[in-house]
């Protein structure tokens, strides 16, 4: 949506809403009256379809009991595979390369157990200092399991400014002792999109396997994992994909690696036709299904069925187009109204380098977030000074974005935030 005629007015925001081709999807979600939700990059809102499919699975359990595994509205035995097939277009993969299973950290453990095989001098793992802590904990744990000290064998790319990573800095650390590289697709603090295509190409030139954490990009931006030849990826489904709190996660394994025995094997790693043979020798599936471990958490899978219906109707390209337009609009409003109050934009100005959320930096960020909640606006705080705001294409309006910025201006003018302590709550 062009911004050549940008005006910092409520009328302009309403005009953008009238032109919005995705506006009808807003009614699909449960939106709290007189409240503005800007934290969909942490937990997406419940849609009516996600609620419906959850209740459908519950109903099958109620009426069919164990027969729900093979019959009913959504037979449970193949539900993870069916959802993987529906997810595949969102990451640019074939159905056989994707499975809905586990959680972000469990899936990273699985993938490292499967693909991290230190040999000779190639024993180290390359990550970055801005990554979400859970990934780092898992990598450190895997290194210890192999007898290596994380202090020497976990190499972390430094950020020059505490916000962004630079492609050339990452490539410089792709040395001959690196076995595998684990990076985020989108940085969870600043929202920066990494150049996955270039990084993968350069890593493969040097014999390094590449894995990406797609938690902050899945459902927000298009991906071409297969075309870019990424070796594996993993993600959660409760942020932009609106799968619900604790939703089952997902993983991708490039087709060239399918057939590699799972590092962490379990009953659901089995070839489906052999699973009930009850043999003590595993016959793994020849798809990404092999990297499941235990029985799927059906009630945490079920909402994703309905959620993905919405994504397929809206289209990830249109979702991305509107997301870019919304974050562009938010940046323009911030620059117009909030610069006098010492806010700094901590996200890339270039839309091609920016994911689905923006990070406003302010020394009083924790207090400002508390104040926003008092005004019934739900932001997200990241220590020490970041206010994350996520205008979500499927359910946020331009008028809401305008109101958020006006509220921030009022909070700063009235110094409303000063009544709170500048420290995070237990859950930020």
Is 281 annotated as contributing to ligand binding? no
Helices (H), 160-251: 167-172, 196-205
Is 216 annotated as contributing to ligand binding? yes
| Residue carrying the six token digits 């942490």 | 42
Catalytically annotated residues:
132, 213, 238-239, 388
Beta strands in 347-427 (DSSP E): 358-361, 377-378, 380-382, 386-389
Is 104 annotated as contributing to ligand binding? yes
Give Cα separations from 277 to 15, 70, 280, 292 (angstroms): 62, 16, 9, 18
Is 267 annotated as contributing to ligand binding? yes
Is 297 annotated as contributing to ligand binding? no
Q: Are 154 and 123 in contact (CB under 8 A)?
A: no
Is 303 annotated as contributing to ligand binding? no
Is 238 annotated as contributing to ligand binding? yes
- SS3 of residue 359 by DSSP: strand
Please list, residue by residue across 101-129, b when 16 or more beta carbons sit within 10 angstroms of its beta carbon and e when fewer do: bbbbbbbbbbbbbbbbebeeebbbbbbbe
Q: Which two tokens stand for residue 102?
A: 């586990």
Q: Cα separation of 310 and 306, whole Å?
A: 7
Spatial strand order of the sheet with 386-389 comes to: 344-345, 358-361, 386-389, 380-382
Is 228 annotated as contributing to ligand binding? no
Is 132 annotated as contributing to ligand binding? yes
Is 141 annotated as contributing to ligand binding? no
DSSP state of 342: T
Residues facing residue 354 across a β-bridge: 192
Is 135 annotated as contributing to ligand binding? yes
Binding residues for pyridoxal 5'-phosphate: 104-105, 132-135, 213, 216, 238, 267, 295
Binding residues: 104-105, 132-135, 213, 216, 238, 267, 295
């Amino acid at each position: 949506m062009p911004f050549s005629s940008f005006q910092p007015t409520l009328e302009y925001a309403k005009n953008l809403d009238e032109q919005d081709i995705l506006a009808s999807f807003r009614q699909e979600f449960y939106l709290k009256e007189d409240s503005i939700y800007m934290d969909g990059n942490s937990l997406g809102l419940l849609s009516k379809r996600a609620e419906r499919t959850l209740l459908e699975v519950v109903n099958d359990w109620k009426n069919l009991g164990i027969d729900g595994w093979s019959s009913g509205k959504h037979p449970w035995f193949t539900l993870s595979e069916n959802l993987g097939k529906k997810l595949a277009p969102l990451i640019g993969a074939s159905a056989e390369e994707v499975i809905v299973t586990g959680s972000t950290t469990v899936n990273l453990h699985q993938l490292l157990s499967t693909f991290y095989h230190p040999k000779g001098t190639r024993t180290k793992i390359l990550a970055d200092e801005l990554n979400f802590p859970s990934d780092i904990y898992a990598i450190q744990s895997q290194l210890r399991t192999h007898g290596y000290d994380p202090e020497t064998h976990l190499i972390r790319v430094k950020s020059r400014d505490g916000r962004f990573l630079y492609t050339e800095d990452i490539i410089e650390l792709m040395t001959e002792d690196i076995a595998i590289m684990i990076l985020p697709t989108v940085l969870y603090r600043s929202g920066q999109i990494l150049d996955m295509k270039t990084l993968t190409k350069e890593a493969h030139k040097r014999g390094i396997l590449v894995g990406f954490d797609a938690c902050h990009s899945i459902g927000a931006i298009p991906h071409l994992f297969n075309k870019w030849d990424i070796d594996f990826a993993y993600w959660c489904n409760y942020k932009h994909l609106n799968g619900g709190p604790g939703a089952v996660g997902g993983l991708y394994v490039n087709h060239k690696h399918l057939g590699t025995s799972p590092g962490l094997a379990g009953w659901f790693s089995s070839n489906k036709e052999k699973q009930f043979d009850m043999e003590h020798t595993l016959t793994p599936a020849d798809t990404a299904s092999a990297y499941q471990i235990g029985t799927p958490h059906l009630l945490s899978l079920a909402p994703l069925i309905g959620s993905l219906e919405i994504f397929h109707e809206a289209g990830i390209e249109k979702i991305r187009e509107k997301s870019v337009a919304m974050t562009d609009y938010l940046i323009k409003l911030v620059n117009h109204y909030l610069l006098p109050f010492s806010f700094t934009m901590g996200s890339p100005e270039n839309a091609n380098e920016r994911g689905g959320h923006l990070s406003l930096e302010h020394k009083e960020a924790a207090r400002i977030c508390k104040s926003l909640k008092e005004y019934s606006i739900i932001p997200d705080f990241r220590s020490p000074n970041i206010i994350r705001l996520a205008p979500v294409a499927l359910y946020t309006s331009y008028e809401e974005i305008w109101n958020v910025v006006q509220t921030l201006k009022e909070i700063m003018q009235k110094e409303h935030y000063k009544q709170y302590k500048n420290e995070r709550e237990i859950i930020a």
